[in-house]
Structure 1
Amino acid sequence: MELVLGNVALACGLIIGLGAIGACIGIGLMGGKYIEAASRQPELMNELQTKMFLLAGLIDAAFLIGVGIAMMFAFASPFVIK
């Protein structure tokens, strides 16, 4: 039983950690591309900014869904037989 709880804790850490790394890399790349595009065509900056914030929200939403799933595994313990 302790082995199962240890594996669940390890899995939760991996879900949150890898999700955070992916979200940070994604937002960093997107921000860099936004700066490049805004410097090339400054007249489109408002449209690009709107799309950038929409995509940032979607990237963060995917990470937060992973956090929610990890928290479900951590606190509900669906794999532990009582």
Structure 2
Amino acid sequence: MTEVTPQMITELYSSTAITVGIMLAAAGFGSAVGWALICAKYLEGIARQPEMRPQLMVQMLFSGGLVEAFPMIVLGMAMWFVFANPFIGAVKSAIGG
């Protein structure tokens, strides 16, 4: 069994920080692309049938709310990795302390 060094714990924290940054960036980018597609289709729908504008707006805002839920879920997961990192607990139990 290999001995766990402080350097290994430091590398684990830094890897977790980089991973959390990538997770949040991907969620933000995905949300932005989702909003762009929703708004583009909303404008296309209005251009085709202007009388459907109120109904299309309701659907656009509902779909946008669903798109915005995804980054909030990812943010919650990211905060879990930052503040209650399960990998650190595994390393500390391997150390024996």
Under a length normalisation based on structure 2, what TM-score does the superposition of the two structures give? Answer: 0.80
Match of 1:11 among 12, 19, 31: 19
**Which residue in 1 is equivalent to 2:3?**
none
Shift of residue 30 of structure 1?
Answer: 0.9
What runs of 5+ residues in structure 1 fail to find an aligned partner? none
Greater Rg by CA: 2
Shift of residue 36 of structure 1?
Answer: 1.1
Counterparts of 1:3-82 in structure 2, within 5 Å, are 3-81=11-89, 82=92
What runs of 5+ residues in structure 2 fail to find an aligned partner? 1-8, 93-97
Q: Give percent identity, aligned residues only.
A: 33
- After the TM superposition, which parts of structure 1 deviate over 3 Å for at least 4 consecutive aligned residues? none
Aligned residues: 82
Query: Can you list the C-alpha shifts for 1:12-51, whole angstroms capped at 9, x where unaligned?
Result: 0011000000100110111011011112101111111101
Q: Give the superposed CA RMSD.
A: 0.9
